[in-house]
């Protein structure tokens, strides 16, 4: 048997599939803020696809550690203080970055060319309006709630709706015939 069936895309290309893909790929603020706790490693920047900023944090942490080991323990502040300032800035930056990243992701997915319609597809309506002209002419001659001009109720196929008095007379007749059946 052929292995071609394994390469088929059975997920489709509809809006529902697009939304599922977006939900998986979008970045989330709680995750980014959670990774900010480990700011010396720069994981929050890597999570938000900001590689340059992601490398700055480990670089500053490594600089502070090397200075502390070679010169004196107080030199760890040389790398830690700038990293803390960047982390404080990132408290505000994360919200804006998540918004910008997710917007760019949505635009990338929604503006991507989709599947083409079948060959010869012309949309819901066709170009031949022969039936449409007749329909419009009939509808324009009608008035809402009234019979079309020049037609009686009997010609339209509708039955005459009995008046209230006629309905009462029919009910009296029915009860009279039903009483006659019960007495027999």
**Quick check: is 96 in a domain?**
yes
**Quick check: is 39 in a domain?**
yes
Q: Is the dihedral of CA 159, 165, 171, 174 positive or negative?
A: negative
pLDDT at 19: 82
**Quick check: is 102 in a domain?**
yes
**Quick check: is 57 in a domain?**
yes
> Is residue 32 within 8 Å of residue 49, measured between CB atoms?
no
Which residues in the chain come in under a pLDDT of 50? none
With tokens 């009608």, the residue in question is: 142
**Quick check: is 100 in a domain?**
yes
**Quick check: is 106 in a domain?**
yes
CA-angle at 55, arms to 49 and 59, nearest 5°: 160
How far is 73 from 171, CA to CA, in rounded Å? 107
Residue 68 lies in domain: 12-110
pLDDT at 59: 87
**Quick check: is 68 in a domain?**
yes
pLDDT at 65: 81
pLDDT at 26: 92
pLDDT at 31: 94
The domain tally of the chain equals 1
> Is residue 132 within 8 Å of residue 70, measured between CB atoms?
no
By C-alpha distance, which of 66, 65, 58, 46 is closest to 83? 58
- If phi > 0 it is left, if psi is from -120 to 50 it is alpha, else beta; for residue 82 that is alpha
**Quick check: is 69 in a domain?**
yes
DSSP assignment of 80-114 equals HHHHHHHHHHHHHHHHHHHHHHHHHHHHHHHTS--
């Amino acid at each position: 048997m052929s292995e071609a069936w394994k390469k088929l895309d059975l997920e489709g290309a509809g809006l529902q599939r697009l939304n599922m893909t977006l939900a998986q790929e979008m970045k989330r603020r709680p995750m980014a803020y959670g990774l900010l706790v480990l700011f010396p490693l720069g994981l929050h920047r890597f999570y938000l696809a900001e590689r340059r900023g992601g490398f700055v944090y480990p670089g500053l942490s490594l600089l502070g550690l090397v200075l502390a080991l070679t010169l004196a323990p107080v030199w760890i502040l040389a790398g830690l203080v700038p990293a803390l300032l960047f982390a404080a800035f990132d408290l505000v930056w994360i919200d804006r970055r998540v918004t910008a990243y997710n917007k760019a992701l949505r635009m990338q997915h929604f503006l991507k060319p989709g599947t083409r319609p079948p060959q010869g597809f012309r949309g819901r309506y066709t170009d031949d309006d022969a039936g449409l002209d007749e329909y419009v002419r009939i509808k324009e001659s009608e008035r809402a709630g009234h019979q079309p001009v020049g037609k009686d109720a009997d010609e339209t196929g509708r039955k005459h709706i009995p008046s209230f008095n006629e309905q009462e007379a029919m009910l009296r007749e029915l009860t009279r015939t039903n009483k006659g059946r019960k007495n027999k």
